[in-house]
Amino acid sequence: FVGDKVAYALGQGLKVIACVGETLEQREAGKTLDVVAAQTRAIAERVSSWENIVLAYEPVWAIGTGKVATPAQAQEV
CA distance 40 to 29: 19
Q: Coil, helix or strand for 13?
A: coil
* Each residue's pLDDT tens digit, 14-68: 999 999 999 999 999 999 999 999 999 999 999 999 999 999 999 999 998 888 8
CA distance 18 to 54: 6
Q: Where are the domains of the chain?
A: 2-76
CA distance 49 to 57: 19
**What's the angle, vertex CA 56, arms to CA 27 and CA 39, rounded to 5?**
60
The alpha carbons of the chain give a radius of gyration, in whole angstroms, of: 13
* Each residue's pLDDT tens digit, 55-69: 999 999 999 888 888
